[in-house]
Amino acid sequence: MKETISVGLLGLGTVGSGVIEILEDHKESIQHKTGCNVNIKTVLVNNLSKPRNLQNNETKLTDQYTDITQDPEIDVVVEVMGGIDHTLKILMEAIENGKHIVTANKDLVAQYGAELLEATQRNKCDLFYEASVAGGIPILRAILDGLSSDRIRKMMGIVNGTTNYILTKMSKEGVDFDTVLKEAQDLGFAEADPTADVDGLDAARKMTILSILGFSMPINLEDVQIKGIRGLSLSDINYAKQLGYSVKLIGVADHSENGASISVEPTLLPLDHPLSSVNDEYNAVYVYGDAVGETMFYGPGAGKFPTATAVVSDLIAVIKSLRLGTSGMAYVQPQFPKKMKTKNDTITKKYLRLHVHDQPGMLMELTKIFAQYDISFDQIIQRKADAEDERELMMITHQVSEADFERAYEELGKLSSIRSVDSVFRVEGSE
């Protein structure tokens, strides 16, 4: 049995250096847990001439990925470089050469998870990606092992730290979206190009991964309804508060006899809902199981050490299964064929904010349209708007199907009394 496991590390950015530091710092405890030493043999970097502070002088830096994928001594490839197509090619080559994979790359796993899994199983290799969802929170293990005896009905999560930081700041300090985004970029909490975070794509990738595992179904990123928070107005946050809600970017995946539905969108959550108090860059995932009921997993969703912890925990799992001779047996293929809910079966409550012309019969016209589709209201607030002859109207509906809501929404657009529909959000919580 091998005494030392050799690792090829792809990427030496923030997370990559974190992985090296944790492996160094926890050497003895990893030796105790696995009976092995871990040696980072080779690290793939972009720029060989950049000065690096590597404690282990035997670690070799390279800018040729084949130095890792084709090195027969390397047992495990740890991928923390990001990217999709090129990275996929490298990992596929590594797998074909019998290497086990640990990755933190949600973009890749959400898009090519099934392909990677197929290749690793064919080659009897392990593939772990705990760090790809919710950073330091061991949520994939909780779903795969801890709740393995249960039937998961619903997962609801704050799985993007950047947008949660932005929404928390807006809500607590009353600062508008653009200002907070700029500040977050200056502080390094948001990327220079914030698209993937702000427009909901990053959260959608994580919800895809959670749904595949939680519902045991081959869900694709394309199955997720996505709406981000770009340009979200302070007014909505303030009105939501008055109505008893917080505004969060929530990923919801639910599953019933009619199929699954998955979405990421700005959502009004009751202020006493536990996800309402998840603030700043923290993540949390609520899991509802038939038998277990309501559970929640909370922790840092990103960051050097939280993410590196998840990567190294995966590495320990790979090493354990190497030593036990059980590599490639950890994951099972999805049990069920994919079945998505139709819009008729997707039922939620909705929040709307409108600007209307203050004219006789306006509210009657409006409510008539909703009544036509059996949509009734839980709360309505009407306010003076900036313009003298306009009113601002906030409405929360009772439960309504996506299909009915879409039809009503389309007819709203035809009403001359409506100047603009400013916001439409999902509403979670009590009926």
| Residues identified as active-site | 206
DSSP annotation of 389 reads T
The sign of the dihedral angle between the CA atoms of 402, 407, 413, 418 is: negative
Question: Is residue 157 close enough to count as binding a copy of itself by CB under 8 A?
Answer: no
Closest CA to 4 of 31, 51, 37: 37
Q: Which stretch binds a copy of itself (CB under 8 A): 54-62, 79-87, 175-183, 319-327?
A: 319-327
Give the angle 254-257-260 at the CA atoms, nearest 5°: 30
* Shortest distance, position 247 Cβ to a copy of itself, whole Å: 19
The sign of the dihedral angle between the CA atoms of 266, 271, 274, 276 is: positive
Q: Which stretch binds a copy of itself (CB under 8 A): 110-118, 147-155, 237-245, 352-360?
A: 147-155
**What is the chain's Cα-based Rg?**
24
Write the interaction track for a copy of itself spanning residues 240-279; mark x where CB under 8 A is met and - where it is not.
Answer: --------------------------------x-x--x--
DSSP annotation of 376 reads -
Tokens read off for 112 = 């090519």
Question: Is residue 430 close enough to count as binding a copy of itself by CB under 8 A?
Answer: no
* Shortest distance, position 120 Cβ to a copy of itself, whole Å: 16
Question: Is residue 173 close enough to count as binding a copy of itself by CB under 8 A?
Answer: no
Q: State residue 430 phi and psi, 5-degree precision.
A: -60, 155
Question: Is residue 161 close enough to count as binding a copy of itself by CB under 8 A?
Answer: no
Write the interaction track for a copy of itself spanning residues 215-244; mark x where CB under 8 A is met and - where it is not.
Answer: -x----------------------------
Q: Which stretch binds a copy of itself (CB under 8 A): 130-138, 219-227, 256-264, 375-383?
A: 130-138
Rank residues 138 and 251 by Cβ distance to a copy of itself and give the closer one. Answer: 138
Q: 34-58 burial string, b = 16+ CB within 10 Å, else e?
A: bebebbbbbbbbeeeeeeeeeeeee
Selected from 1, 187, 291, 364, the binder of a copy of itself by CB under 8 A is 291
Selected from 36, 81, 217, 312, the binder of a copy of itself by CB under 8 A is 312
Alpha carbon distance, N-terminus to C-terminus of the chain:
59
Rank residues 4 and 344 by Cβ distance to a copy of itself and give the closer one. Answer: 4
Question: Is residue 137 close enough to count as binding a copy of itself by CB under 8 A?
Answer: yes
Question: Is residue 36 close enough to count as binding a copy of itself by CB under 8 A?
Answer: no
Rank residues 330 and 424 by Cβ distance to a copy of itself and give the closer one. Answer: 330
Write the interaction track for a copy of itself spanning residues 320-349; mark x where CB under 8 A is met and - where it is not.
Answer: ----xxx--x--x--x--------------
* Shortest distance, position 196 Cβ to a copy of itself, whole Å: 24
* Shortest distance, position 21 Cβ to a copy of itself, whole Å: 9
Question: Is residue 26 close enough to count as binding a copy of itself by CB under 8 A?
Answer: yes
41 vs 78: CA distance, rounded Å: 11
CA distances from 288 to 83, 155, 294 (A): 32, 6, 5
Burial class from Cβ neighbours inside 10 Å (0-12, 13-18, 19+) for residue 287 reads buried
Rank residues 5 and 418 by Cβ distance to a copy of itself and give the closer one. Answer: 5
* Shortest distance, position 297 Cβ to a copy of itself, whole Å: 6
285 vs 156: CA distance, rounded Å: 6
Alpha carbon 61 to its chain centroid, in Å, reads 32
Selected from 72, 293, 337, 360, the binder of a copy of itself by CB under 8 A is 293
Rank residues 137 and 396 by Cβ distance to a copy of itself and give the closer one. Answer: 137
Rank residues 152 and 229 by Cβ distance to a copy of itself and give the closer one. Answer: 152
Give the angle 251-255-259 at the CA atoms, nearest 5°: 120
| Paired residues of 152 in beta bridges | 289
Question: Is residue 207 close enough to count as binding a copy of itself by CB under 8 A?
Answer: no
Selected from 16, 138, 214, 266, the binder of a copy of itself by CB under 8 A is 138
Evaluate whether 211 touches 253 at the Cβ level (below 8 Å): yes
Alpha carbon 253 to its chain centroid, in Å, reads 11
Measured from the Cβ of residue 403, the count of other Cβ atoms closer than 10 Å reads: 15
Measured from the Cβ of residue 152, the count of other Cβ atoms closer than 10 Å reads: 21
Point out which residues bind a copy of itself (CB under 8 A).
18, 22, 25-26, 28-30, 32-33, 130, 136-138, 141-142, 145-151, 216, 272, 274, 277, 289-300, 303, 305-306, 308-313, 315-317, 324-326, 329, 332, 335
